[in-house]
Structure formats: structure tokens, C-alpha cells
Amino acid sequence: MAFKITKMIDLDSIDFLVDVEAPEIAERFHPGQFVMLMTRKEGERIPMSVMKAEDGKLSMFIRKLGKTSKELRDGIEAFENVIGPLGHGVEEKVYGNILVLSDAVCGHAENYAICDALGKIEGNTITSVQTFPSKAEIYPDEYLAKNVADRHFITTEDGSFGDAGSYVTTLKRLLKNDVPIDFVFGGGKLPTMKAVSTILAINNIDNLFTTRQMMVDGSGMCGACRLYIDGEMKLACVDGPMFDSRKVNWTRAMKRYGMFKKEEKIANEYYEAHKGGCGQCQK
């Protein structure tokens, strides 16, 4: 069964939004969960966070990075398969003063979904911080979590808008100003999550961060997404993807995430050169 793509628009120079019809998944989705996408039958499965599940459709923010995401942006009309929802979503309850942090495409999707769901629960106050590379790369207003948060800050890595640096800069400013924070959710780049985990440990703040790993099947069978939480092996796809950042072995997680760089480069080069025509990148 094909899953029809109903919308595809650019968000900035590299990220784009995709809406896909997947009513059964949309109905069961909880913020923090993800799906596995297949652009064609022989293709790889790529894990993708979900920003919104509404009216039988899933909205996703996708980065044009390598072979599969480029193939998708170059004009696919339907997914061969969408599998999910996968992983554990966040518990939808009262946390109090919630801070939601993100600095990359996957993190921004979760940021929106978490703010939207938890903001509807009385007793929660939501502050969202989203980091973009520069002012020119900030998503259009309607796709920012500011629509679903009580307070929203933007930081830019080059300092062209808002606080300069990553969301860590804004978190430090909030802590310095004694802004109450009861719980932090976050996602995005692994090095920023590693940096923030130290601050959250020093300040003893409970948190859950999406700890991205390479996923092959997304169902706990291949072992590709293993990581170490408090010294114990876990699978990001079935045990996560969110974990207490203070317990994650970030050094091992970062090392594993880069392990297919060579193969990804070859597939990307074939795709760029032949756009699928020679068949090499289909292998």
C-alpha cells in the first residue's frame, strides 16, 4: 500500500516539510515517537520524527542530506511504506514548568509535538528554545514551536538573531535569572545534548532527550541502534528514543552514529552523479 504525499515545501535552504496520509499511524501517535519511511521497495528504511499527527496525516520536517532524503525531495509522490508509530512517546501529564530545547531538524519536529501536547494540559507552562544556524535559516513562523508554547526563544549559531550560540546559551541565561524549570525535553545534535547533560546534572533537573542512533529495522531486531545508559545496553528504537541525558554514554553514542559515513558518501555520490539512472545507488 502506498502512502500518498499531500504536501512538500521548503522550510529553509536544506530542510523541507512533508505531509503524508497515514490515518492509522496518526491516530495512535504520541509526541516523541517516530516512524520509519521507505521511498521505494528496495530502498533503506529511514527513521523520522513526527511534528504533527492531525486529520489522518503525519507532518515531518526532513533534511536534504544524503541519497534517500534527496530522492524524496526530488519528486516522490508517495512512500512505499510508513511504519509506526515506533518508540515510546512522552507521558502526557503535569510536569509544571517545562523547557523544550532543539537545534536540528529532528529536534524541531519533537519540540513542536511535545509543546503542542503538553501545553494542552492544565498545570504545565511551556518554554521552547529553537536554535537555527542563522537568521536566514529560521523556519517560517507557522512551523515554529512558538505557536504551541507559552514562551518561545530563538538562538542562532552565528548570532544573527536572538542569543548567539546554541540553546545552551539560552538555558544558561534562564538558570542565571532563576527562571523555574521542573523538567526539560530536548533533541537535535548529539554534541549539544552532551553539553546540556552536564548542566542538567549540576542543576539536578529531570529530563528526557531523544538520543538518535543509526536505525536499520527500527524494531529491536538488528542491534544497530544500541547505546549505553548507566552502563547498560539499550536499543534506541524500542527502549527509547528518549533517555535521561545524564545517564547516556555520549562518547560511545557519537562514535557509533558516524560509523556508516563512508557508505553514505558513496551512495550519495552515485545518486548525485546519476540520479538513480545507472542503478548503482539502488543497491
Q: Which residues bind ligand FES (CB under 6 A)?
A: 215-218, 220-225, 235, 237
Instruction: Name residues contacting ligand FAD, limited to 191-230 (CB under 6 A).
Output: 212-215
CA distance 227 to 250: 9
* Contact yes or no for 237/222 (Cβ under 8 A): no
Q: Is 62 in the site for ligand FAD (CB under 6 A)?
A: yes
Q: What is the CA radius of gyration of the chain?
A: 18
Q: Which of 3, 61, 185, 250 binds ligand FAD (CB under 6 A)?
A: 61
Q: Is 238 in the site for ligand FAD (CB under 6 A)?
A: no
Residue 246 grid coordinates: 545524564
Of 90 and 181, nearer to ligand FAD (C-beta) is 90
Of 36 and 267, nearer to ligand FES (C-beta) is 36
Angstrom distances, CA of residue 133 to CA of 15, 99, 172, 187, 199: 12, 21, 19, 16, 22
CA distance 245 to 242: 9
Q: Which of 59, 241, 242, 243 binds ligand FAD (CB under 6 A)?
A: 241
Q: Is 63 in the site for ligand FAD (CB under 6 A)?
A: yes
Residue 256 beta carbon to ligand FAD: minimum distance, rounded to whole angstroms? 10
Residue 63 beta carbon to ligand FAD: minimum distance, rounded to whole angstroms? 4
Residue 109 beta carbon to ligand FAD: minimum distance, rounded to whole angstroms? 4
The 3-class secondary structure across 127-160, one letter per residue, is EEEEEECCHHHCCCHHHCHHHHCCEEEEEECCCC
CA distance 120 to 136: 31
Question: Which of ligand FES, ligand FAD, none does residue 62 bind (CB under 5 to 8 Å by kind)?
Answer: ligand FAD
Strand 81-86 and strand 34-38: the pairing is antiparallel
Instruction: Name residues contacting ligand FAD, limited to 82-101 (CB under 6 A).
Output: none
What stretch of H or E contains 108?
A: helix 105-119
Residue 140 beta carbon to ligand FES: minimum distance, rounded to whole angstroms? 32
Instruction: Name residues contacting ligand FAD, limited to 108-167 (CB under 6 A).
Output: 109
CA distance 92 to 124: 10
Of 205 and 237, nearer to ligand FAD (C-beta) is 237
Q: Among residues 81, 93, 100, 68, which one has the least CA distance to residue 41?
A: 81
Q: Is 105 in the site for ligand FAD (CB under 6 A)?
A: yes
Angstrom distances, CA of residue 269 to CA of 30, 55, 282: 36, 38, 12
Residue 129 beta carbon to ligand FAD: minimum distance, rounded to whole angstroms? 18
Q: Is 173 in the site for ligand FAD (CB under 6 A)?
A: no
Q: Which of 182, 217, 264, 269 binds ligand FAD (CB under 6 A)?
A: 264
Angle, helices 250-257 vs 190-202, to 10°: value is: 170
Question: Which of ligand FES, ligand FAD, none does residue 281 bind (CB under 5 to 8 Å by kind)?
Answer: none
H helix count then E strand count, the chain: 8, 17
C-beta nearest to ligand FAD: residue: 66
Residues engaged in binding ligand FAD (CB under 6 A)? 34, 46-49, 60-63, 65-69, 105-106, 109, 212-215, 241, 257, 261, 264, 268
